[in-house]
Amino acid sequence: MIPALSPQQLKRACTQLSSAALIRLVSEIDDHGAIPPRALGHTFPDLAPQQIRQTIEQADALGLLDRSRAGLGLTLGGEDLADVYDQAARWARRHNYPAPLCDFATRIRHTFALLGEPAAANPHRTGGDAAAELGRVHRLLAEWIHTHQSQQRHGADGVAA
């Protein structure tokens, strides 16, 4: 069983993982494979080079990227996060959240914002199919945080890798 997350831990993780550029980077690699470093600008032509660098630094800090001769790939943590993103986007699309028409990253960002709210302030957690499905997304996210972020913290402290 996964230990419960504090509201602060959940909100912090939801905020960290909700960057549109991070969502796009993880999803692009998950969908199409490793990105050669020199192809990042072509892959994300609407992002400034500095924004791409910051996103890669963020993904590195979260332990999401694997560097090889093929380019930037995903670690197991990155692959698992891509699965969480997919589930969040599916829930949002099925329930037209935040709107019937919006892009993948927007759906994930709004769903994570919803997950980061206290249950009392969250109308989608009051009951019904939507709430039950959102609860499954919440459990996946909590599992990802517990598995991958706790390993990262222990690794930084020298306790475990």
Cis peptide, bond prior to residue 7, ω within 30 of zero:
no
Domain of residue 88, CATH code:
1.10.10
Task: Identify whether 18 is part of a domain.
Answer: yes
Q: Mind listing the pLDDT tens digit of every residue in the chain (161 residues)?
A: 677 788 898 999 999 999 999 999 999 999 999 999 899 999 999 999 999 999 999 999 999 999 999 999 999 999 999 999 999 999 999 999 999 999 999 999 999 999 998 764 455 554 688 888 999 999 999 999 999 986 555 444 433 33
Strand partners, 68: 71
Residue 49 inside a domain? The answer is yes
Distance CA 89, CA 87 (A): 5
Overall pTM > 0.85? yes
CA contacts within 13 A on the Cβ side of 25? 32
Residue 39 lies in a domain: yes
Task: Assign 81 to helix, strand or coil.
Answer: helix
What is the extent of the structural domain holding 18?
A: 7-155
CA of residue 66 relative to chain centroid, distance = 16
Number of domains in the chain: 1
